[in-house]
């Protein structure tokens, strides 16, 4: 094995009993590669094999729906029924065959679901549509769906499951003072707004037993009247108290991603590291930092400064799956970088099209395209 100058980056870490061979993780990245209806496709298997081959310790598979009613698009992965199990097994095995740990992110998109009647904690306008407020009975039923989906991830052979509390999806909608205007004990005070994700965590843990559960964590909505770190760190502490395995910090929601100041902020290297650092001050479980961590030197300095315990690469790894190997071998100049001026992948997936990266070679684009169904 080559000696590396990035000593912190290539130091192993344990997530409960699970050994990670280094500090590099793939942050979840939805690219529209599942089949219409949400089944795992040949393209997905090819894509995740590439992602795992490069040497990252942990691959967190993009958000998978716990119910069709909470699906973000017709090409969002599904894990809401046992009929998806055989394909999910193939996906987990594809990643693990490459000696990476595999996690599945599970999600309910709430008011952002691509359905006729989206549901949410409260009937708050969502780009001109108003979701229906969830009843208490529905709340319990969604919690059960999370638990069942987590159990499916375990049965399919994933090493971990990640609850999607980011991007302004349902879990985050309950925590946010903007989108949760309920007057029952799921709304109002911070304690009440945290109830829904914490009850889900409890139910998931009771169902999966001794199985690691991570959390994609919305630290800041980046909206004037939205959730900010002052409140979100309270959730971080509660998650730790209730047995979360790691916290993967992020900022922004669909309502802030396209604001000029957020576009500007998120074009900067390491733009979400300060959020991870803020969370890390309050918990002792491992914290993942993501957001344009393009160079191994930056990743190393984040770990060295103890701003995070793990590095999350999403587009950064997708553009160049060999990033970890190149970092280890000291070939950082050979890394293909995601351009901060480009948002082609996001634009494509938002139009319901499979994403490709303009930085890829013609051959690579053709290889992806030839597998798209
Ligand atoms: C096209 C696209 C899809 C994404 N899909 C997910 C997702 O399914 N789940 C999630 O938690 N975050 C998702 N993210 C956020 C990424 O995990 C990550 O936090 C963000 O892209 C910053 O990291 P990067 O600069 O390495 O891409 C997505 C981001 C983009 C651009």
Please check whether residue 8 lies inside any domain of the structure: no
How many angstroms separate the alpha carbon of residue 27 from the centre of ligand 1? 7
Ligand 1 within 6 A of CB of 29:
yes
Please check whether residue 1 lies inside any domain of the structure: no
Please check whether residue 203 lies inside any domain of the structure: yes
- Per-residue tens of pLDDT for the chain, all 373 residues: 557 899 999 999 999 999 999 999 999 999 999 999 999 999 999 999 999 999 999 999 999 999 999 999 999 999 999 999 999 999 999 999 999 999 999 999 999 999 999 999 999 999 999 999 999 999 999 999 999 999 999 999 999 999 999 999 999 999 999 999 999 999 999 999 999 999 999 999 999 999 999 999 999 999 999 999 999 999 999 999 999 999 999 999 999 999 999 999 999 999 999 999 999 999 999 999 999 999 999 999 999 999 999 999 999 999 999 999 999 999 999 999 999 999 899 889 988 889 999 999 999 999 998 998 8
Please check whether residue 6 lies inside any domain of the structure: no
Please check whether residue 47 lies inside any domain of the structure: yes
Ligand 1 within 6 A of CB of 345:
yes
**Where residue 270 sits, what CATH number does that domain have?**
3.20.20.70
Query: Which of 29, 66, 73, 275 to mutate for ligand 1's pocket (most ligand atoms within 8 Å of CB)?
Result: 29
169 is catalytic: yes
Q: Which atom of ligand 1 is nearest to the CA of 346?
A: 1
Please check whether residue 3 lies inside any domain of the structure: no
Q: What is the DSSP letter of 33?
A: -
Please check whether residue 7 lies inside any domain of the structure: no
**With b meaning 16 or more CB within 10 Å and e meaning fewer, what string describes 30-50?**
bbbbbbeebbbbebbbbbbbb
Tally of structural domains, the chain = 1
Ligand 1 within 6 A of CB of 346:
yes
Angle at 193 between CA 129 and CA 273, to 5 degrees: 85
Ligand 1 within 6 A of CB of 315:
yes
Query: Which of 24, 28, 75, 103 to mutate for ligand 1's pocket (most ligand atoms within 8 Å of CB)?
Result: 28
Please check whether residue 5 lies inside any domain of the structure: no
Instruction: Say which of 6, 169, 215, 356 is annotated catalytic.
Output: 169
- φ, ψ at 106 (rounded to 5°): -115, 145
Ligand 1 within 6 A of CB of 290:
yes
Domain containing 257 equals 13-371
């Amino acid at each position: 094995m080559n000696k590396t100058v990035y000593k912190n980056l290539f130091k192993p870490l344990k997530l409960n009993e699970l050994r990670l061979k280094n500090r590099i993780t793939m942050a979840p990245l939805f690219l529209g590669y599942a089949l219409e209806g949400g089944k795992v496709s040949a393209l997905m298997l090819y894509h995740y094999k590439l992602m795992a081959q490069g040497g990252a310790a942990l691959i967190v598979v993009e958000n998978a729906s716990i119910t069709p009613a909470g699906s973000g698009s017709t090409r969002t992965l599904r894990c809401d029924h046992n009929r998806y199990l055989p394909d999910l097994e193939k996906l987990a095995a594809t990643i693990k065959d490459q000696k990476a740990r595999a996690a599945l992110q599970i999600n309910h998109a709430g008011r952002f679901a691509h359905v006729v009647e989206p549901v949410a904690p409260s009937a708050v306008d969502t780009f001109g549509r108003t979701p229906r407020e969830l009843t208490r009975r529905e709340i319990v039923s969604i919690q059960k769906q999370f638990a069942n989906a987590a159990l499916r991830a375990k049965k399919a052979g994933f090493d971990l499951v990640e609850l999607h509390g980011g991007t302004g999806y349902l879990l985050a909608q309950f925590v946010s003072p903007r989108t949760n205007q309920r007057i029952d004990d799921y709304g109002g005070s911070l304690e009440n707004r945290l109830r829904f994700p914490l009850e889900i965590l409890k139910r998931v843990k009771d169902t999966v037993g001794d199985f690691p559960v991570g959390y994609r964590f919305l630290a800041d909505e980046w909206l004037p009247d939205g959730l900010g770190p002052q409140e979100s760190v309270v959730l971080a502490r509660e998650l730790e108290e209730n047995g979360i395995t790691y916290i993967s910090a992020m900022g922004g929601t669909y309502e802030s991603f396209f604001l000029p100041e957020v576009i500007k902020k998120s074009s900067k290297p390491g733009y979400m590291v300060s959020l991870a650092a803020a969370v890390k001050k309050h918990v002792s479980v491992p914290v993942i930092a993501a957001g344009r961590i393009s160079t191994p030197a930056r990743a190393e300095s984040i770990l060295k400064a103890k701003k995070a315990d793990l590095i999350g690469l999403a587009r950064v790894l997708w553009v160049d799956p060999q990033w970890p190997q190149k970092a280890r071998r000291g070939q950082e100049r050979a890394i293909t970088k995601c351009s901060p001026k480009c948002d082609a992948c996001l634009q494509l997936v938002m139009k319901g099209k499979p994403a490709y990266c303009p930085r890829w070679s013609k051959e690579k684009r053709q290889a992806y395209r030839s597998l798209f169904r």
